[in-house]
Amino acid sequence: MSEKILASVDIGTNSFHLVVAKTNDEGIVKILTKDKEVVRLGKGASEMKYLSAEAMDRAITVLKRFRLVCDSYNAEIRAVATSAVREAINRDVFLNRVIDETGIHIEVVSGYEEARLIYLGLLQALPVFDKQILMIDIGGGSTEFLIGKKGNILYANSIKVGAVRLTEKYFSNGRILKENVENAGIYVRSIINPVVRHLKGFNYENVIGTSGTILNIGSIIYAVNHPLNAEQFNFNNFTYTSDELSEALKIIIKSGTSGRTFYNVRKIAGLDPSRADIITAGAIILWQIFSELNLKEITLSKYTRLGRFDECALQKRCKSCQTL
């Protein structure tokens, strides 16, 4: 049985993720190491049109470190960039700098391909291969929607609203005001309206949420009743309801408005402090999706990054196999 070591580098608008894993001919995946760094590649960019020099410098510093990790495992690297790079007019400047300074070649994927890859990773994490599911992924610059069953994509779309982008538009000064919260909600509804119309024509058995935003909201919800072990809890396959999401959003907004800055938001139990400035926008996006689609609950998939490199596993895994 042949084995190979692969590294997946996910270059997102908010954070970069690294997964190094060993795979074999049967599609079995064993994670060797993981890493994550908040880079904010899309921060400060007007409507994500340009990558700033400072953002590029931050990105390359992290990618150099990721490269050292990959080389220590002699791993083959596949790097994928999403919304921030996809939309940047000066993306070639960034891509060429990355090649020159790290030797990493970055593949810039479309919104459709981004959703497809996340779906492949989701199928490695949850026993939903035979089910028709709605997948929602709230990134920093975009939000992906997908209807899938047995690895087939029935519908996929990517919209230009994400936690970093919405923060830049309505909360860039670090203040969370009632008027801005309301205006952000109205804006999100207008952006997601075409997707909502399409999705209402589909039936789906489960709603699966991916991304740090949806995971962190789940962590806040869990910490309400389990404040001491929220950091150790594995949120893969964790489910929360629309009522719990509503309460979490109230906690986030109350914390932000009470101090008029993101400082108090950082103190929310269960929240990753590095997401304090963008969690309000992310929670607003998710709440509007829940409201417009009348969703009752969402289940979390924590291991979405695997889909970046392990497409063969989808074809060879048995539907009852749990590889993680």
Residues 145 and 180 in one domain: yes
Residues 297 and 174 in one domain: yes
222-252 pLDDT tens trace: 998 876 666 667 888 999 999 999 999 999 9
Residues 65 and 137 in one domain: no
Q: Which domain holds residue 90?
A: 3-109
In a domain, 57, yes or no: yes
- In whole angstroms, what is the distance from residue 136 CA to residue 300 CA? 10
Query: For position 10, which CATH number holds?
Result: 3.30.420.40
Residues 168 and 239 in one domain: yes
Residues 134 and 275 in one domain: yes
Residues 105 and 149 in one domain: no
Sorted by sequence, the CB contacts under 8 Å of residue 224 that are 6+ apart come out as: 247, 269, 270
pLDDT at 319: 37
What integer is the mean pLDDT of 117-142? 92
Residues 288 and 159 in one domain: yes
- β-pair type (76-81, 3-11): parallel
Residues 136 and 274 in one domain: yes
pLDDT at 76: 94
- In whole angstroms, what is the distance from residue 60 CA to residue 94 CA? 9
Count of domains forming the chain = 2
Per-residue pLDDT band at 125 (split at 50, 70, 90): confident
Which has the closest alpha carbon to 207: 283, 280, 306, 122? 122
With a cut of 60, say whether residue 204 has pLDDT above it.
yes
- In whole angstroms, what is the distance from residue 147 CA to residue 136 CA? 9
Which has the closest alpha carbon to 307: 80, 118, 38, 61? 118
- Angstrom CA distances, 110 to 98, 115, 142, 169, 291, stand at 20, 9, 11, 23, 27
What integer best gives the mean pLDDT of the chain? Answer: 87
